[in-house]
Chain A
């Protein structure tokens, strides 16, 4: 199946390569949902590849107004105007001459310019020029047949509601239907795209987030893995060390490669330092790492690392490690999680830290939270990325606890850190609650964090056991 490559970030991926050539596609959505920008982005991308578009307006928006809006976007190139992008007013013909003459006009334009793409915007507005639904249906059928025969890929843009998809004629003849809509989530306005239909090809179903900025449209496909993505080889017996000899010994050599670990503990118990150490040790072994923080900005993480003698700046410059901070109030889970995967793939990341899952949970719509966490974990496992997710426990002196969130079953390994009172001091201890598929030490051990690093000390005395 030959395809039209849209050039829109991730749209061709969702469509398994692009839009089938010579198809008729309806782009539907409420006013302001981004329909026109989507189509204009596609056609200008195509124009740069040499494909010609005839863009027919039925709202009589003047060319200068259209250009004025388009100039805000990087995809726009005024050299393509009247060359690969032909803008004409169909409404004038419809008003003065009727739809049959309008069809002849379209015919004439096709013969004159030989376009690869035709856009009619807005197609819904054309309905007003027809005396009844029957005549409109004939027009729809005729135009669809004609344009396909002329090897033209068609976009019919219209302000349709989703419920109209099952009732209006243009949807019956459409090969593809893209529906754009918006919603509010946690005070953010979000835009979504769904492909309701696409004949001739499979496509990624479901709701995909998209954004509009000066570069045009960017789509962030939903990350819920399909069945195919869940089929992956179980990781080998290789181990990923922390570089803390006593601790690696407790783990029988380190974390099993490709596993997901919950590192749980109260504030100040050392989760961040352990996580940083994990990433640094990975770099020592030639493995690229990504540290995603929802808690501390990168500058703070660098300071923490420097206090331990780790020069992160140098490693970032060499591309061996990436640090990202996303403020919990700014998290857009659809977008950011997708970008993380993009990062992991592009930079061949082998070790990943999310600090912390607790902040992530508070920042995400609760309905989506478990779904996203599960999808994220499955994707990391499939990519064999050894990962640590830190979990904040409110009471740093609390009894052995993996998580207050009820998510511990998602993790292969659970390590906890906590404080105990010892005499007149506060001491830090750690333990391994779980390590799927392998044995591990059952000891509770004291540990210290100094400027020389993390040192795991002896086993706890019975009388020092947790209350």
Chain B
């Protein structure tokens, strides 16, 4: 896997952790897991590879996804994660309110820009 792709995957992993932790404050641990499962399922309708992201009591792991993407150099990783985060924040806004969801989205955006 190219160095760029490795870094990209790592970056998205960090963003995922960030968003899960931030939303846990409002939803709680169990609902965050359910929300992640739901969004992964939604996005998997277009990008089935995303179901390789794993989340449990021990934490988040995108190792399996990373391994799969090794063999798919042209895979639209950015687009997939963009859709993921967009959908996640969209549903979050419905559950906890637009204002709170926008705060989390802003947090994500800052972290995203810091990296690149």
What is A's interface to B at a CB cutoff of 8 Å? 2, 21-22, 111, 141-142, 145-146, 148-151
Contact = CB atoms under 8 A, between A and B. Distances in A.
A296 B116 CA distance: 86
Contacts of A141: 30
Ranked nearest first, the 5 interchain pairs of A and B with the lowest CB-CB distance are A149-B34, A149-B35, A145-B31, A146-B34, A149-B38
B22 interface: no
Given A111-B41, A150-B38, A145 B95 contact: no
Contacts, number: 23
B41 A149 contact: no
B91 interface: yes
Q: Which of the four size classes fits the interface of chain B?
A: under 10
Nearest to A110: B38
A70 B30 CA distance: 38
B25 interface: no
B21 to A, nearest CB: 17
Contacts of B38: 149-150
B84 to A, nearest CB: 16
Contact of B91 (A21, A145, A151): A151
A148 B41 contact: no
A111 B35 CA distance: 13
Interface in B79-95: 91, 94-95
B94 A145 contact: no
The interface residues of chain A, by DSSP majority, are classed as helix
A320 to B, nearest CB: 50
Nearest to A142: B30
Contact of B94 (A22, A111, A142, A146): A22
Given A142-B30, A145-B31, A149-B35, 6 more contacts: A21-B94, A111-B41, A141-B30, A149-B95, A151-B94, A151-B95
Nearest to A149: B34
A111 B37 CA distance: 11
The interface residues of chain B, by DSSP majority, are classed as helix
Interface string B92-116: 0011000000000000000000000
A150 B38 CA distance: 7
Contact of B34 (A2, A111, A145): A145
A22 B30 contact: no
B31 A148 contact: yes
B95 A22 contact: yes
A334 B91 CA distance: 42
A150 B94 CA distance: 10
B25 to A, nearest CB: 16
Nearest to A141: B30
A305 B94 CA distance: 61
Contacts of B30: 141-142, 145
Contacts of A2: 94
Interface string B41-81: 10000000000000000000000000000000000000000
A155 B30 CA distance: 21
A146 B33 CA distance: 10
Nearest to B92: A149
A255 B35 CA distance: 65
Nearest to A2: B94
Contacts of A151: 91, 94-95
Nearest to B36: A149
Contacts of A148: 31, 95
Nearest to B34: A149
B97 to A, nearest CB: 9
A205 B111 CA distance: 48
14 contacts: A21-B94, A22-B94, A22-B95, A145-B34, A148-B31, A148-B95, A149-B31, A149-B34, A149-B35, A149-B38, A149-B91, A149-B95, A150-B38, A151-B91
A21 B34 CA distance: 18
A454 B100 CA distance: 71
A46 to B, nearest CB: 17
Contacts of A111: 41
Nearest to A151: B94
B31 to A, nearest CB: 5
B46 to A, nearest CB: 15
Nearest to B35: A149
B82 to A, nearest CB: 21
Residue in A21, A22, A149, A151 with the greatest tally of chain B CB atoms within 10 Å:
A149
Nearest to A147: B34
Interface in B1-54: 30-31, 34-35, 38, 41
A21 B94 CA distance: 9
A149 B23 CA distance: 13
A174 to B, nearest CB: 16
A234 to B, nearest CB: 42
A307 B41 CA distance: 78
B15 to A, nearest CB: 20
Contacts of B94: 2, 21-22, 151
B37 to A, nearest CB: 8
A316 B95 CA distance: 52
Contacts of A145: 30-31, 34
Nearest to A114: B42
A106 to B, nearest CB: 13
Contacts of A142: 30
A21 B97 CA distance: 12
A349 B38 CA distance: 54
A454 to B, nearest CB: 65
